[in-house]
Each structure stands twice: as C-alpha cells, then as structure tokens.
Structure 1
Amino acid sequence: MSVLPKARGAALAAAVLLSLPLTTVSAADAEPGSCSDVTVPAAMAPGLPQDQTIYGRLCLPPGPAPDVLQILVHGASYDHTYWDFPGFDGRYSYTRAQHSAGYATLAVDQLGVGRSSHPPSALVTQLAGANALHDVVTAARAGTLGPAFGRVALVGHSFGSLTAWLEAATYSDVDGVLASGASHSLGALALAQLGPHIRPARLDPVTAPRVPVTDLGYLSIPGARAVVFYHLPSTDPAVIEQDEATRSEVPAGVAATIPVYIPATLGIRVPVLEVNGVEDKPFCAQGGGASLTDCASDATLHASEAPFFPPEAQLETTVIPGAGHNLNLHRNAGTFFDRAVRWFQDHFPPH
C-alpha cells in the first residue's frame, strides 16, 4: 500500500515517469580514451546564482577529441549509470557503442539525483532541470570540461527525454535531440501501476543516504521496474535484479510541470530522432499502459508524434520490436545503439 494519499499518488507517479566554483576537471584530467568525473555549476532558473552542481561522467574515445558531444540524460528513478550499465560484458552500455563510433559522451545526474545537488524537492521542476542542463551545454561549448565541443546533442531516456526536449526548445543551444522511451501521451494505467510502489526516498534504504533528511518530497519506487519498465520475454532477469538494487531517488517537484514539455516541442528547430520499444508500457499503446501513441511501426509512431514538432525538427522515428520502456537494458539493446549511431553519423559526423 502506498504511504502517500491517493490524490497525490497519480501526480507523483507521473513525475517518476518522466529524472558556484569552476568545474572540477581540466583538459589534462579528461584525456582522449579516458573517462573523468566532472562537476558543472548550475542555476535553478535564468538569472539566479549558479549555486547548484551537476555531476557528469565525461568519456572521450581514443584519438583526437571529437567535435561532437552527446550529453546523456537519464530517466526518473535512474542516474548516469543507466547509460553505461555495469557488468554483463558491456552489452548494455550505450556509452561504449558511441565510443566505438568515435563519439564523446557526458552522462549527467539530473538536478536532485545521485551526485548532483539536492535542493528542496518542490523546487526541482522540469523547468529547473532544463535550466541546469542548459548550463551544462554552455560549459561543454566553452571548453570548461576539457575540449571545447563545437556541436552538442542531447540524448534522453523517459523523463530525461522530456527534459531534453524542454531544454532544446527553451534555449536553442543544441544541434540535435535523440529521445528514447518517450512520447506525447503518457498512459494512465502505467501510472496507476506505479502508484502503490511510491514512497519517500528516506524510507527506502537504497535511496535514503542520498537525500536530505527532512525532505519527504524525494521519492523512490522500489519493486516497480519489472512491472512497468520491461518487456519480460526480452529481458535477462539478472539485469532487472541489478537495476532494482541500484534505483535512484526522484524529486517530486517535477509532477507540477510535466505538461510543460508537450507544447514546448513545437519550438525545437534542430533534428530530432525518437525511438521507442513497441512494448513500452508508459508511452506506447501497444505496451498496454493506455498511452495513445501508436508504436506499431516507424510510420505510425511518426504519424502520432509529428504534430508536436515543426518541420525544422526533421523528425525521424524508430520502433524497436520486442523491447519495452528501458531500451538500453533489453536483450536487443544493440538494435537501439546501432540506430543511434547511424543517426549521429548521418547528421553529426564526429570530426
């Protein structure tokens, strides 16, 4: 039974579905072929002090630093490790696939998650997350992470895709957006299935150490992953077990601003690729979560999503057969990784 009132449960479940000083890394710290921890000063809104910190894992492929940087934005209840899932011989690492193709990546912890700052949870809205991400983009272009990247693209998963769309539409500072596990219709049944699992992160021993002691607005959803995020016939049970054991906190403030991204995508003026698993329960009708987005094929997904983007977005859509919400963590993750590489090579060659 949820420890939250039912009236709040649906709104908070929606939030789950959709996650100073100079930077602490120098060019010498982030040499090609290596990965480095970085921190970026960030503000909660335009004009406010940059008194928050966004953590990221910057990885550069061997050889000369590429001109293109992919900033990887995790979904709710995840952190930066979603993109480089530990173990399993790297089979579920988006980061490794992109490095093999010559691309640099920066996997961040969103505001209020993991090693990034944890301001009051009510203030961690979609708008605040987008502004913090804008500060990361600015730092990447300025060279304060090491190399100065001439082209920057956002790559999102689930709620991270929504944040990426909002950032790109609001600040017009990126060259492209790849969105995975997201659409413009969020299924009510998927939300309902999440609701009973939601509890304050302080009451979950996995997430409790990372959140402020008195802030019960940071949430956790233990036990929900297999139910909502996976197509079980296409998933290694050991992956779900590890995923569940490494869950992250979710700031509840995103609930109040979830609808903001829906009209915002009409302001995106750079190429967009949207990739969904046909069995995605939260965001595809075929997943059975009551979404209205038709993911039966690439063409039907395009027809569902095209009204939300302008012609300048050059929207491309891809449906991955047999995959659920967490595209990175299904047995056929390589199909998604290969599609992402082809899109980047078509639009943004690494050098």
Structure 2
Amino acid sequence: MRQSTSALALFMGAVAAFQCSSFKTTITVSAPFYQPAFAPFANHYQSVALLNAVTARDASTAASPFKGAVNVVETFSISAEYCTPTAYQHPAHLDVQILTHGLGFDKSYWRSGGDSSGYNYVRAATDAGYATLSYDRISNGGSSLVDPYTIQQAPIQLAVLEAITSNYRNGTIHPSVPKPSGKVFHVGHSYGSILSHALVATNPSLSDGIVLTGYSTNTTWLGEFLISTDFHLAKENQPQRFGNRSAGFVTWPDELANQYIFLSYPHFDAAVLAYAETHKYPFSVSEVLTGGVVPYNAANFSKPVLMISGDADLIFCGSDCHGILEQAAPLFPGAKPFETYVQPDTGHGMNLHYNASGTYAVIQRFLKDNA
C-alpha cells in the first residue's frame, strides 16, 4: 500500500500544458418540476423519516413522495470554465468535451488537486488535444442557489445541460468562448452521467458522443447510497460553508461515509479522501429522488457511447461492476459503437483513485478511435 502524503505533495505532477478561462453565463430554461408530497424539513428527524420511507421494503408500492408535474420557466447564472491546450492556436477547431459532475461535487471534480495534479481530468483531455467545458450544476459551486425541494430536480438539471450545449454550439455561451467547428462530446460522472444519458435520449443531435463514468442503468443498490448519507442536513454538517442553506440540502455525515460511497480501499491516498470531504457539496433530496423521471431510451442516438465504471463501484454496481454495465445496451440500440469498460482497483469516485490516469487514457483513446 502506498504511503499517504501531504495534500500538497499528493497533487504534484508535470507542468500543466493547458489554459483556462472562468466565466458566468445566464441561461433560461423551460422544464417541469414535480411537486413534493412531503413538507419541507424542520429538522433532521424529518429528513431521516423520509429516508426511512423511500428505502423501506415496500417503497416501490407505497405512495410517491411527489405529486404532479408543473412546468416552470427559470433563469440561472451558471459558473463555467473553458480550457484548451496551451500550444493550440485555433481553439474553435478543437473537439470539445462538456463535463458534468455528479452529486457531492462541483466542477472542480474535473480538476482535482490543481493544474499539475495527476487526478486532473481536464489536464488529460487537453493533453489529448481536446478543449473542455465544465460547469457547476445549479446549487453547486458558483452557480445559482435554488429551491432544493422544487427547482433542483433532474428535469431542470437536464434542461440546464441542454441549454449550455445549445448555447455553446451557437457561439453564444460567452464572448471568451469561440463558436466550435469541431465535434461536441459529453462526459459525465454519476448524476452527471444520468443527465448526459438523458440528453441524448431527449435531443440526440446535440452530442457527437457520450462517455458515462461512474454509472450503470442498474439502480438496485441506490438505496445503499441513500442510507449511507443519513440524509444529514448540510447546514448542520458543515455550518461554516452551508449554515445559510435550506434544510432541503443534505449530505453524508463524515469522511468514513465518503469512503464507503466513493472509494475502494486501499487504492486511494488518505489525503485525497480528506480533500474530497472538505470540498464536498450538498445535494437536494428532490434531485436524487427525481433521477428516474428523465428519459433513458436513446434509440435515436447513433454516435459513440462508452460506459466506464470502477470495478468496486458501490452505487451503480453493488461493489462489483463485472457483468453490470452491459445491461444498458438495449437503451442504445443505434450507438456506433456501444462499449463498456471496468476500471480495476477503483470505486465510484473514479477521479480520486491512484490509477485515475488509467481511466482518463481509456476515455481519450475511445473518443479518438471512434469519433
């Protein structure tokens, strides 16, 4: 087992050969949200009571925690970052990867540890000749903080990804970002993979290929993830960071729960786990419970699809992904190609393991070979 290092030494690596511009963009979306059938939480006893209900043996036949859908029009400020290889003089001609993070993170998941870190996905993608466009999903990072019971739900998060992609393709996302002439790929992690999958099921023309990391379409073990979080109120868990947030924002309780959910021992550095815990973001109860209402039948998508997960992914594979990822193939009957890959010695948080660079290499090679 490797020796744990300081957080500073851990993230050292070669000099970064990419440059980034950070910006905020305003988008307006029209999408449905589902009206909660449960009252806003007054305390953590009520959040845990809902957790009891949605993970009970009869949860699938019990009354839904949501009522009917209502369409809304909302405007958000989205914090984003556009990165390109330093040596490339014509970024508009680059193929781009639009990166969507999962629950518990913001867009920094894709640049864990800084510019020269070996855990930095943006570095790997730009080294391979791609541009990247990452963004904070609503209520994460620098993006708009919204109502966690109503607005922060899967259909609205999907609409945000669609709007970001459309604006980028149209050259209207921000003056600092050129209109692309190359291909546009989507790379997601976990909940970000749910959204990237739903994007090509809803609007297949928006993407030239998708990579779904930390993901499968088997939800058998979702309850284990929910239970491990205790639906711990974020305002109580990290009051200095989230003390002013609604009780509708929840998180997992501590570093050990973080390890249980995201990491495979002994294939990570303790400093990485500590970093992930101190940089975590809460998720909304409604967000996680509406993950199944977005469309998944991508029959009209004919571009490349790669589904890649760690062999010990707890959330989507019950800690053994062998034979699980292939189950998604019927949802992508027209994909050219549909491929799966199980990364060894890796848990759900793929960017946080010693061999993250191996994951990155598989992704870049797939896109180069098939796009």
Distance (Å, rounded) in 2 between the aligned partners of 1:53 and 1:338: 33
How many percent of aligned residue pairs carry the same amino acid? 27
Q: Retained in 1: the 8 A contact 2:301–2:334? A: no
Question: Pick from 174, 196, 208: which aligns with 1:164?
Answer: 196
Distance (Å, rounded) in 1 between the aligned partners of 2:345 and 2:274: 20
Distance (Å, rounded) in 2 between the aligned partners of 1:327 and 1:79: 15
Give the aligned residue type for 2:365: R
Name the TM-score, length of structure 1 as normaliser: 0.80
Distance (Å, rounded) in 2 between the aligned partners of 1:207 and 1:77: 17
Q: Retained in 1: the 8 A contact 2:116–2:123? A: no
Describe the superposition over 1:32-65 as per-residue Cα deviations: whole angstroms up to 9, x where unpaired.
9521112222234259656211111111112121
**Structure 1: gaps (5+ residues):** 1-31, 289-294
1:82 matched to 2:109: yes
Structure 2 equivalent of residue 199 of structure 1: 232
Stretch deviating more after TM superposition (38-47 or 163-172) = 38-47
**Structure 2: gaps (5+ residues):** 1-16, 32-70
Give the aligned residue type for 1:181: G
Q: Number of paired residues? A: 304
Shift of 1:206: 6.2
Question: Pick from 217, 224, 233: which aligns with 1:190?
Answer: 224
Give the aligned residue type for 1:270: K
Q: Retained in 1: the 8 A contact 2:229–2:251? A: no
Whose strand fraction is larger, Structure 1's or Structure 2's? Answer: 2
Distance (Å, rounded) in 2 between the aligned partners of 1:230 and 1:207: 26
Distance (Å, rounded) in 2 between the aligned partners of 1:252 and 1:170: 24
Give the aligned residue type for 2:170: A
Distance (Å, rounded) in 1 between the aligned partners of 2:136 and 2:303: 24
Q: Retained in 2: the 8 A contact 1:45–1:127? A: no
Q: Retained in 2: the 8 A contact 1:184–1:262? A: no
Shift of 1:250: 0.9
Distance (Å, rounded) in 1 between the aligned partners of 2:133 and 2:239: 25
Shift of 1:153: 1.2
Distance (Å, rounded) in 1 between the aligned partners of 2:138 and 2:184: 20
Q: Retained in 1: the 8 A contact 2:201–2:295? A: no
Shift of 1:262: 6.4
Distance (Å, rounded) in 2 between the aligned partners of 1:330 and 1:214: 31
Describe the SS at the equivalent of 1:119.
coil
Question: Pick from 253, 277, 287: which aligns with 1:254?
Answer: 287
Structure 2 equivalent of residue 149 of structure 1: 180
Distance (Å, rounded) in 1 between the aligned partners of 2:72 and 2:207: 22
Distance (Å, rounded) in 2 between the aligned partners of 1:263 and 1:138: 20
The 5 A counterparts of 1:62-211 are 62=86, 63=88, 64-65=90-91, 66-87=93-114, 89-122=116-149, 123-144=151-172, 145=174, 146-150=177-181, 151-172=183-204, 173-186=206-219, 187-188=221-222, 190-191=224-225, 193-196=227-230, 198-205=231-238, 208-209=241-242
RMSD: 2.3
Describe the superposition over 1:298-351 as per-residue Cα deviations: whole angstroms up to 9, x where unpaired.
xx3453221222223521111111111111110011111001110121233xxx
